[in-house]
Structure 1
C-alpha cells in the first residue's frame, strides 16, 4: 500500500500491521504449531523409539514405517491405525500429520532425510509464549522495487539451521530496490500463493536486534511491469528463531544486505 504523510493514513497502516502481527503470532502459538514441537528425530533404517512419540520408527526404500505397540494408536487421514503402518515415501518439503491423543506427530522429509517432529500442546515453549517483539511499523520501510525473472528458474542450494543439512529451491528471479540511496538486490524464491515471491535475507541488524540466521519476507505477485512492494515491516522470523527443532533454510550468500533494515520482527524473547 502507499501511505500518504497524514496521521490518519499512518494510523491505518499501523492498525493493519498490528492485526497482521497478532494473526502471525497466533498461528505460531497454535496448539500444534512450531512452539509445540518437542523433538526433531531423524529416521534411519535401524528402528528407533522416541520418548515423545508412540511406536518404533524407521525408514527405507519404501518410505517411513512405524510399528505401534499394544495399546498404541495413531489417527492418519481420519483413520485409526494400529500395529505396523507404512506412511510411504514422503516428498521433499512434504509431510503427514498423525494424531496421537492431543498431540500430533509430523512425519516429514527435509534436505532428503526423513524425520518426525512430535507436537505437544503442553510444551512449555508454547504455553509460556507472550508474543514476538518487533520494530514499530513505519511506512518508510514499504519500498518499491523491480522484479526481473531469470530466463529459466535457477536451482539454488542454501544451508539450513541444522548443521550439515542443505535445501535446494528454484529461484525464479531477482528483485532490485533502493534504500538510503543504495541500490540493493535479493534473489527471490516462489511464495505460498501463485505468482507471489519470498525472500530470505540478513542485514546489518542480524545478530544485534534481529535473529542472526535469517528473516523472511513475503511479496505479492509483481505487476505487469515487474513492480513489487517490499514491506519490510512484515519481515518475519522463521521457526528456527524460536526452537532448535526446525530445519529452516538460510539465505543465499547474495541476500546478505549491507544496510540495517530496522523493521519487522526482532530476536524472540525465547532467544534473549
Structure 2
C-alpha cells in the first residue's frame, strides 16, 4: 500500500466516523430519546404525553388528540411519528407489542453527548474474506436487548476469513444496495465494546465470492447509546473468539 493509499484509508475512515457522530447527534435522533413506554389494551395516560393511548393486535388508538386517532405501526419497521411540540412520539410495534418512544431535542443525554469513542483505524483490520451463499435464504431468529422481544433476519450465506492465521466464520444477512450485513460479538465485547452486538456492513461479493471486511467500521447499534432501543443481539454463530480491536467502542 502506497503512502497515498494509506492517507486515503485514514481520511475515508475519518469521514465515516464524522458522519456516524453527526447521525447520533441529531436533535430528534437516538440519543435524544427520553422514554420507552409499552401500551396495553386499555386507554391510559402515558408519562407526560398528550391524550390517552391503547393498542391491540391491529392498531394504536390515541384519545384526545383531534378526537380519537388510529395508527397502524408495522412490525419491525421504523415507527410512525406524532408531533408533540418540539418532541416527536414514535409509535413502534415489536414482536406483536406496541411502544412509544419519546424523542426530545432537550434530552439531557443529547446535551451530554460527546461523540463515539473508537479504536484508531488500522489496515490490519481490513481483511479479505470469501462469501459462500446458501442454496436459499433462511431465517435466523435472535433475541433483543429488551427481554421477550425477537428479531428475524434473512441469512443468505457465510463469510470465511482469517485473522493472524486463524480462520473464522460469520453468518451474513441481507444488507443494503446488494451488500451484506453481519452482527457479531468478539473478545472485546463487554470489555471495551458494547456487549450485545456490533454491526458491520460488507460490500457486495465479487463474482468469485471475495468480500472485504473492514472491521475499522464495526458500528454500534442504537442500544449502545440509549436504554430505549430494542436492538437485536448477535446470533450465537457470530460470537468470535478473537479480540477485534477495531471499530467503535462502547460509548457508555
> Smaller-chain TM-score range?
over 0.9
Q: Secondary structure at the match of 1:38?
A: strand
1:91 alignment counterpart: 75
Matched, 1:11 2:7: yes
Q: Secondary structure at the match of 2:35?
A: coil
Instruction: Return the alpha-carbon distance in structure 2 between the equivalents of residues 67 and 183 of structure 1.
Output: 57
1:26 alignment counterpart: 22
Instruction: Return the alpha-carbon distance in structure 2 between the equivalents of residues 48 and 64 of structure 1.
Output: 12
Task: Answer yes or no: is the 8 Å Cα contact 1:210–1:267 preserved in 2.
Answer: yes
Matches for 1:157-236 after TM superposition, within 5 Å: 157-191=141-175, 193-236=176-219
Matched, 1:67 2:63: yes
Matched, 1:104 2:88: yes
2:233 alignment counterpart: 250
After TM superposition, give the deviation of residue 89 of structure 1 in Å: 5.0
> Residues 172-217 of structure 1: CA distance to partner in whole angstroms, max 9, x if unpaired?
11111111111111111112x2311111101011111111111111
Structure 1 pair 84–172 and aligned structure 2 pair: CA distance change class (3 A): same
Q: Secondary structure at the match of 2:5?
A: helix
Instruction: Return the alpha-carbon distance in structure 2 between the equivalents of residues 57 and 138 of structure 1.
Output: 50
Structure 1 pair 128–8 and aligned structure 2 pair: CA distance change class (3 A): same
1:76 alignment counterpart: none
> Residues 4-33 of structure 1: CA distance to partner in whole angstroms, max 9, x if unpaired?
1x3332222111111111111111111111
Could you state the TM-score of these two structures normalised by the residue count of structure 2?
Answer: 0.95
Equivalent residue in structure 2 for 1:42, among 38, 46, 53: 38
Q: Secondary structure at the match of 1:233?
A: helix
After TM superposition, give the deviation of residue 61 of structure 1 in Å: 3.6
Task: Answer yes or no: is the 8 Å Cα contact 1:64–1:90 preserved in 2.
Answer: no
Q: Secondary structure at the match of 1:135?
A: coil
After TM superposition, give the deviation of residue 165 of structure 1 in Å: 1.6
After TM superposition, give the deviation of residue 88 of structure 1 in Å: 2.4
Instruction: Return the alpha-carbon distance in structure 1 between the equivalents of residues 93 and 179 of structure 2.
Output: 24
Task: Pick which of 107-116 and 31-40 moved more.
Answer: 107-116
What is the RMSD of the two structures over their aligned residues, measured on CA atoms? Answer: 1.4
Instruction: Return the alpha-carbon distance in structure 1 between the equivalents of residues 106 and 214 of structure 2.
Output: 35
Task: Answer yes or no: is the 8 Å Cα contact 1:203–1:257 preserved in 2.
Answer: yes
Structure 1 segments unaligned to the other structure (5+ residues):
74-81
1:78 alignment counterpart: none
Could you state the TM-score of these two structures normalised by the residue count of structure 1?
Answer: 0.89
